[in-house]
Amino acid sequence: MHFDDRPRHRRTPTLLAVLGVFLLCVVALATPEHAHAALQKIAGYKKDSDSTFKTLFEYFANLRDAILPLSIPIGAIGLVIGGGMFLFGSHHAARTLFGVILGLGLILMAPALVA
């Protein structure tokens, strides 16, 4: 007896998606130099310098500078989702909007807080 009673042709796309994600993870783990290069760029390494952090402050400043451009579109998406939840009468809309506004405010004020 099978646990999954769905027809076999409906399981195939799910199986292919899981297999694709697994293969992507295997390839990413087999070639770590790309991930290492991305981490070095975020941390502010130079290609000629050694691979140690100059200071923890510089690392967090570079991390902040890398995250800041991503936070604006993600915050806008969160505001749209929260607004849609509010329009449709969800009980969690105010909490979602408060969380998005608070998080976006903290991220946008981070340069002033760090300095």
pLDDT exceeds cutoff 60 at 8: no
pLDDT of residue 90: 87
CA distance 82 to 76: 10
List, for residues 21-45, the tens digit of each pLDDT value. 878 767 766 666 666 666 666 666 6
- Each domain of the chain, given as residue ranges in start order, spans 32-114
Angle (CA) 65-25-17 rounded to 5° is: 110
Give 43-76 pLDDT, tens digit per residue.
666 665 555 556 667 777 777 788 888 888 999 9
| Start-end of H helices in the chain | 8-30, 32-43, 56-87, 93-114
pLDDT number for residue 48: 57
For 77-103, the pLDDT digits (tens) are: 999 999 999 999 889 899 999 999 999
**pTM as predicted:** 0.49
CB-based contact 83:97 (threshold 8 Å): yes
